[in-house]
Amino acid sequence: MVMGKGVEEQKAGVDWLLKNYAHLEQHRLTGDDDVIVVDLRVDRGKDVWSLDAELVAASAKMLSSKKLSDAVRYFDGIGYPQSYGKPLLKQLFKKAANQNLLLAAVGDSRREVAREDFSHCVACTTTKGILDLRSKLVSSMAAKRAGVELSDAIGYNDIGAAKMDNSERKRCGMCGKEGQNMRCCAACGQVRYCDRDCQKRHWKQHKTVCRRRQEATAMTNQLHDQLGSLETGHNTVKWISDEGLGKFPSKEQHSEFTKAVGAFRTNFLESGLVAKMVWDHAGDKSVPLHCNIDYGDYVDFMSRWCDGRPGSRTNINMLVCLSSDLDKMRATGAITEVGARMMRDVFAKVDPKTHFSCCFTYKVLGPFAEVILSVPWSTHDNAP
């Protein structure tokens, strides 16, 4: 979030926060209103990279977005008059409501205040924004090192556009007529037809897609057989439109994804780290629980967690939801109807008293580089 003058200084401040975020985790964030403030102002001729990251982080100030007056007084004390600080902080706190803010004082150090062209301002971002950027960088760099092409379709909109609803699946692949007792293609078992005539007329168009459906089904079945995915190939691919098949991982992408899933299951699931993180969300364990974690978030977390300071709290971007949250998520657009239905299917396969479900994604490889695994609550006891 870059505002007003000093744009270059603000960008440099955000870049510093991005690179040195791990140092700031010694300041434990306990609520959505917590704000961390660092002073990155420097003398003329120097830049933020000349600062000692550990010292800057150690002297960071913890504030609350719910206590505007305290924040205004603090900034006034470090050289930002209330006439500047109050409206700015009020605007920033409002824009980032219910998010942890990271603020950086940037520009000229206070030793330069006598200069006529003295200038300093405030750079602002959120912990989620920083973690999102770190995740994308980690994922992209890992895929490139493996020589795997990145996907240009990685968002939830891409997933929604690539999936079919139930009425679309019941339509004839040739004429579009709906019906209940339709015949399926014997090869892929997923495209339906009114009769043999429609199927024969559609074969030239369907032939390439049919082969792609079979390949996609085989890839998904591999995850099911080797890694314990809750979804079989047929039940996954049958919901994907012909257009959506183009967003399915290539063989090279699938190979990279399979390796990532194996490492994730060993290092994150079987180690008990995930169960430990979501334990408190489960309540009495009578309501199904699900979490979503992306490859980049997982790898970035592990690197920061392994290097963490004693007493620090390593944060991770992770969506956790209960089965009771689905209707609300559907109403707010956080999940599509197809997605909600698939999640209900997942919840039905997991006994909430003994397990929870975890969806692992690798977004830079495309919207279908994902696998849903069942995780025993008992792994909680393995957590370090």
How much is the pLDDT for 4? 42
The DSSP 8-state label assigned to residue 163 in this structure reads B
Structure letter (DSSP) for residue 51 = S
Q: Which residue, of 201, 227, 253, is where some domain finishes?
A: 227
Evaluate whether 67 touches 101 at the Cβ level (below 8 Å).
no
**Are the C-beta atoms of residues 362 and 295 closer than 8 Å to each other?**
yes
Based on the fold, state whether residues 382 and 322 are members of the same structural domain: yes
Residues 245 and 356 in one domain: yes
Domains held by the chain: number = 3
Shared-domain flag, residues 19 and 104: yes
What's the CA angle centered on 37, arms 69 and 121, to 5 degrees? 85
Q: Does 277 map to a domain?
A: yes
Q: Is the pTM of this model over 0.85?
A: no
**Does 154 reside within a domain?**
yes
195 shares its domain with 155: no
Do 196 and 249 fall within a single domain? no
Catalogue the long-range contacts made by 344-353 (C-beta closer than 8 Å, 24 or more residues apart): 345/235, 346/230, 346/231, 346/290, 346/372, 347/288, 347/290, 347/323, 349/230, 349/374, 350/230, 350/288, 350/374, 352/282, 352/285, 352/286, 352/287, 352/288, 352/289, 353/285, 353/286, 353/377
Residues listed for the chain: 384
Q: Is residue 140 part of a domain?
A: no
Same domain (yes/no): 253, 310:
yes
The confidence score (pLDDT) of residue 3 equals 44
Q: How far apart are CA 243 and CA 329, in angstroms?
A: 26
Domain co-membership, 24 together with 153: no
- Whether the CA torsion 127, 128, 129, 132 is positive or negative: it is positive
Residues 109 and 198 in one domain: no
Instruction: Return the structure tokens found at 363.
Output: 């977004």
Local structure of residue 239 (DSSP, 8 states): T
Q: pLDDT tens digits for 318-373?
A: 888 888 888 888 787 777 666 777 788 888 889 999 999 999 999 898 888 888 89
What is the identity of the amino acid at 355? H
Residue 232 domain flag? no
**Same domain, yes or no, for 174 and 27?**
no
User: Do residues 207 and 114 share a domain?
Assistant: no
Q: Which two tokens stand for residue 317?
A: 């971007």
Query: Domain span at residue 304?
Result: 146-163+240-384
The per-residue pLDDT for 163 is 65
User: What is the C-alpha separation between 270 and 379, in angstroms, rounded?
Assistant: 6
The answer on 159 and 78 residing in a single domain is no
3-state secondary structure of 372: strand
Within a domain: 152: yes
Instruction: Look at residue 233 and tell me if it is in a domain.
Output: no
Residue 138 in any domain: the answer is no
DSSP track, 280-301 = GGGTTS-S-EEEEEEHHHHHHH
Query: Is the residue at 134 inside a domain?
Result: no
Do 153 and 286 share a structural domain? yes
Q: Residue ranges of the chain with pLDDT lower than 50?
A: 1-4, 154-161
Would you state the pLDDT for residue 203?
95
**CA 246 – CA 244 distance, rounded (Å):** 5
